Chains A and B, each alone.
Chain A
Amino acid sequence: MNDGATSVWPTGQRSAHAQLREAGCVSGTEFDHERIPPAIAAHAIAAWTRTGDLVLDPDCGSGTVLTESLRAGRHALGLTVRKPWWTLARANITAVKTAGAWCDGSVLEVRPRMLATVRAAGLVGRVGLVLTALRTGPEHDRVESAVGELAKTLQYCEPLLRPGGHVVIVARPCRRSDGSLVDLASLVVTAATTAGLALVERCVALSAEVRGSRMVVRGSGEQRRVAHHEVLVFQLSHEVELAAEAATSAPVRTSFAHAAERSCGRRAA
């Protein structure tokens, strides 16, 4: 194995159903067509969290992010506004914990707005990773409204990030009814920037299988053309700026310490 991870992730080696089976997800999870595939969630969790961290998915759907977090030894919290998804996500958490996961996992049937209330006060500065999918609807008919909702959600999530925490948005490329491609990444970046986040990485998570020197794309029709998910990685803007300053000037203290102080000061204010 190479140590240096690349911007292209080999996350399509198993079919979607095989991934769900391996993750221990319950039947019905496969109907959440906009879920983050378990392999992508596992890669992001391994890359940007450490054992015992808290992973938050503010629009968790059937809860694949939650199950992968628990399997990796991270605590998990998911929110959803849809009762069927809440039932399914809860069942998935129960299944993973029954299989031996020891961390705390919860799913709440509430709107992301709850994160800005006193009920979420205990989460402030504790979340190591916000990992969620951009859900544009089955026919990609609500891209603009989905991005608008995401922008609000990210504003609620921003104060919850611990110093050094990341926000990862996974989006599947989609088209408008006239056939043109939606520039999803730019929409998401604009939304995140408004919420005080800065883009630090942009990766490609393969949904196609690598076989030797070629790729095998699964599915049919338009689905067959899409061989990847876009992965956009953000950090707090002020942390990025401080880290950049620290890198250019003589480092008296670590950027992590700077960021922690500034973050604590801002929250106290």
Chain B
Amino acid sequence: MISARNSQVRKPPLRRGWRRPRLAQPNTVWPCGQDDLCEGTGSLASWLLTAVVKTVTTYTQPGQRVLLLHPAPYLTPSARGQSQLGPYDGLHEAGWTVVRLGRGVQTHTAVAPGVEQRDGGLVESESGPDGYDLVLTAADLATLDWFRPFSFAPLLTPAGTLAVITRGARSGGRFIDPTERLVRAARDVGLRYLDRVALLRVPLRDVLHVRPASALHRQVHDDLLVFTRSASPARIAESGGASR
């Protein structure tokens, strides 16, 4: 029989001194479609909620500030009277979840030029003295015709991150990808292209058992494009680590 004294295993010392928190290292594909999540009564798609949670937890730390920026295509003059929901409707509903993750959150609805801004719009002073550590938005190809996510870049902190969820679309037989346009616009405002993540909208089992077919592939993923102000990942880690 092993005595209690002998059975004690010496554990290694827990932590020696202060350790700088590391920036998360995400991989390039995130499975966001999970069938164990209930759809709920809101308009926010469950995969989009999962994508928001993963983005927030990957690119921010508790206590940091997040802006959820929702362009409202239903407020454009051409879309008046349409009741059909867009793929990213209900983004603001993720605000409560972001709060539960310990981040400060503000939501804002961007409207097309020429449409009356009922909430008065978001001005730089509202972002507070420190700005936002993450501005997260989602816009499809049609919305990006009038919506300029990078006009919100001045609201970022010096090490802040701007993340855009988007998707390409077929038009006239061609596949139109908004990435190039967004990367160029980001460069124009001094942001670096940091990450591109494929967000899988369907459960993984839906892509696992498929047979290659000559027909067009069904689009089951969106893209998360991530941009940052900092010059290098090392600087992000340093500034992020210092503020965390």
Distance from B168 Cβ to chain A, minimum over Cβ atoms (Å): 6
Q: A43 near B212 (CB under 8 angstroms)?
A: yes
Residues in chain B near residue A200, CB distance under 8 A: 170, 173-175, 216
Q: Contacts A180-B192, A214-B31; is A203 near B217 (CB within 8 Å)?
A: yes
Q: Most A CB atoms within 10 A — which of B27, B183, B194, B232?
A: B27
Q: A47 near B213 (CB under 8 angstroms)?
A: yes
Q: Which of B11-19, B74-82, B195-203 contacts A (4 or more CB under 8 A)?
A: B195-203
- Report how far A8 CA is from B207 CA in the complex, Å: 6
A139 within 8 A of partner (CB): no
Give residues 28-56 of B contacting A (CB, 8 Å). Answer: 28-29, 31, 34
Distance from B231 Cβ to chain A, minimum over Cβ atoms (Å): 7
- Report how far A244 CA is from B209 CA in the complex, Å: 31
A7 within 8 A of partner (CB): yes
Q: A215 near B177 (CB under 8 angstroms)?
A: no
B100 within 8 A of partner (CB): no
B220 within 8 A of partner (CB): yes
Query: How many B residues face the partner with a CB closer than 8 A?
Result: 48
Q: Mark A12-51, 1 if CB is under 8 A from B, else 0.
A: 0100000000000000000000000000000110111000
Distance from A166 Cβ to chain B, minimum over Cβ atoms (Å): 10
Give residues 162-208 of A contacting B (CB, 8 Å). Answer: 173, 178-181, 183, 185-186, 189-190, 198-204, 206, 208
A99 within 8 A of partner (CB): no
Minimal Cβ-Cβ distance residue in B for A178 = B232
B1 within 8 A of partner (CB): no
Task: Say what secondary structure dominates the interface of chain A.
Answer: mixed
- Report how far A179 CA is from B183 CA in the complex, Å: 15
Minimal Cβ-Cβ distance residue in B for A186 = B180
Q: B174 near A198 (CB under 8 angstroms)?
A: yes
- Report how far A47 CA is from B217 CA in the complex, Å: 9
The one of A201, A228, A244 in contact with B29, judged by C-beta atoms closer than 8 angstroms, is A228
Q: B221 near A204 (CB under 8 angstroms)?
A: yes
Residues in chain A near residue B206, CB distance under 8 A: 2, 6
A224 within 8 A of partner (CB): yes
B219 within 8 A of partner (CB): yes
A241 within 8 A of partner (CB): yes
- Report how far A212 CA is from B234 CA in the complex, Å: 35
Q: A244 near B173 (CB under 8 angstroms)?
A: yes
Q: Contacts A47-B213, A179-B232, A225-B28; is A7 near B177 (CB within 8 Å)?
A: no
Taking Cβ atoms with an 8 Å cutoff, the residues of B that contact A are 25-29, 31, 34, 168, 170, 172-175, 177, 179-180, 183, 192-196, 198, 200, 202-221, 231-234
Q: List 18 A-B contacts (CB under 8 A).
A: A1-B211, A4-B210, A5-B211, A6-B220, A10-B207, A13-B208, A46-B211, A46-B212, A47-B214, A178-B232, A179-B192, A181-B195, A181-B196, A185-B179, A201-B217, A204-B198, A241-B173, A244-B172
Taking Cβ atoms with an 8 Å cutoff, the residues of A that contact B are 1-10, 13, 43-44, 46-48, 173, 178-181, 183, 185-186, 189-190, 198-204, 206, 208, 210, 212-215, 217, 224-228, 233, 240-241, 243-244, 247
